[in-house]
Structure 1
Amino acid sequence: MDITSILIYCMVATFTPGPTNIVILSTVHHQGAKKAMNYSYGATVGFGLLLAISALLNMILTTFIPKIIIVMQIIGSVYMLYLAYMIYKMDASNSTENETATFLSGLLMQFLNPKVVLFTLTVIPTLIMPKFNTTPAMTISILVITAIGFLAFITWVLFGTVFKAFLQRHGKIVNIFMALSLVYAAIMIWM
């Protein structure tokens, strides 16, 4: 696999809807772009940390991956269902300050997001290590993939900002759609 293929894979995996992107869109809708960016910064740091952890511990984790995947599936599914419930019950007309879109919650979401965990556990050993296994090459790969993830998060913030009026006008329908998207993501973990 060449660098172009790796970059395309990384872009598809990070730009497509997932729990983090759905939470970012919901945050823009309910709390604005500034809060969503704060959450995105945390999500980016968490994403980068997961990539680094994957690179550093890949050899040790390979013997435990089946057990880790099951635990992450359970934790991730429960957390995504919780987020779906919170998004569903949000009242778009209620503008009270909500502290769920913090840097820390964005960071922690990455460790509970099965899409991100599975991506980071697979992209490093399957696509990066076979071709680029020196420390500088791994570091550059982690930084580039983290930057791609950050661009994906920013794209979702911009999308939410551009369509904020539409989202607010159809708040309950948007909340139901986002909640159902998270429920679908939680179910797909087990398929």
Structure 2
Amino acid sequence: MQWIPFLLYVLVTSFTPGPNNIMSMAYASKSGYRNTLRFILGVAVGTTVIALLSSFFNLLLFSFIPKVKMWMSIFGGLYMVYLAMKMLMHKPRANEDQHEKLNSFISGLILQFINPKVILYAITANSTFIIPYYHSTVSLILFSCFLGFIGYASTSSWAVFGAIFQSFLRKYERAFHLVMGLLLLYSAIIIFLG
């Protein structure tokens, strides 16, 4: 397994701004970390379920259609290039509207099933990094739990450091997106060369 590109992909994708992190930060800035914990746990459980479903779906595809492995790796690499380009082309926005949602476990859980970032994250991580090397049910469950834990860690850190991240991102937003985009490009290049 290509551990460095896998970890870079997982960390960059999880810790960059997205619906989970932004909502977690907004909830924590209004009602504190403790009251946001139920939303964060919903995100973690939802991410784990999406990762599990994705891993078994990908394993099923690989079992029945062995040639799909190459195409899934290409898709995963291209998706990482797409994410990198979005990061590199990102233009700072003065005031982003944040939709008010319920700060609850259920809303955190349900959000994962309509959040394209999480769905593509799980599909890409599984098809590109995990399924080509691991096939046992135990390993797929462990990797899915790991992806869910990273989801918990990212939304939790955004909640804890919400105010700090808000000011940091506003001040150094362009540099942050440049570094994250370059890390994603590196991961995609490793996939294409590997």
After TM superposition, the score normalised by the length of structure 1 is 0.63
The answer to whether the 8 Å contact 2:14/2:151 transfers is yes
Task: List aligned pairs for 1:28-177, cutoff 5 A.
Answer: 28-58=28-58, 59=60, 84=97, 86-87=99-100, 100-160=102-162, 163=164
Matched, 1:5 2:5: yes
Q: Deviations over 1:143-169 (max 9, x none)?
A: 222212211111111112x549x98xx
Q: Could you tell me how far 1:7 is from its partner in structure 2?
A: 1.6
Q: Could you tell me how far 1:11 is from its partner in structure 2?
A: 0.9
The answer to whether the 8 Å contact 1:11/1:149 transfers is no
Task: List aligned pairs for 1:17-32, cutoff 5 A.
Answer: 17-32=17-32
After TM superposition, the score normalised by the length of structure 2 is 0.62
The answer to whether the 8 Å contact 2:47/2:147 transfers is no
The Cα RMSD (Å) is: 3.2
Paired with 1:10 and 1:113, the residues of 2 have a C-alpha distance of: 16
Q: 1:38 is aligned with what amino acid? A: R
Q: Could you tell me how far 1:122 is from its partner in structure 2?
A: 1.7
> Percent identity between the aligned chains?
28
The answer to whether the 8 Å contact 2:29/2:159 transfers is no
Paired with 1:7 and 1:147, the residues of 2 have a C-alpha distance of: 13
Q: 2:146 is aligned with what amino acid? A: V
For structure 2, the 5+ residue unaligned runs are 69-95, 171-194
Q: Which residue of 1 aligns with 2:16?
A: 16
User: Aligned pairs, how many?
Assistant: 139
Paired with 2:40 and 2:141, the residues of 1 have a C-alpha distance of: 21
Paired with 1:120 and 1:86, the residues of 2 have a C-alpha distance of: 24
Paired with 1:111 and 1:47, the residues of 2 have a C-alpha distance of: 9
Q: Deviations over 1:70-129 (max 9, x none)?
A: xxxxxxxxxxxxx94635xxxxxxxxxxx8100000001111111001111221112100
Farther-moved stretch of structure 1 (113-122 vs 41-50): 113-122
Q: Could you tell me how far 1:57 is from its partner in structure 2?
A: 2.1
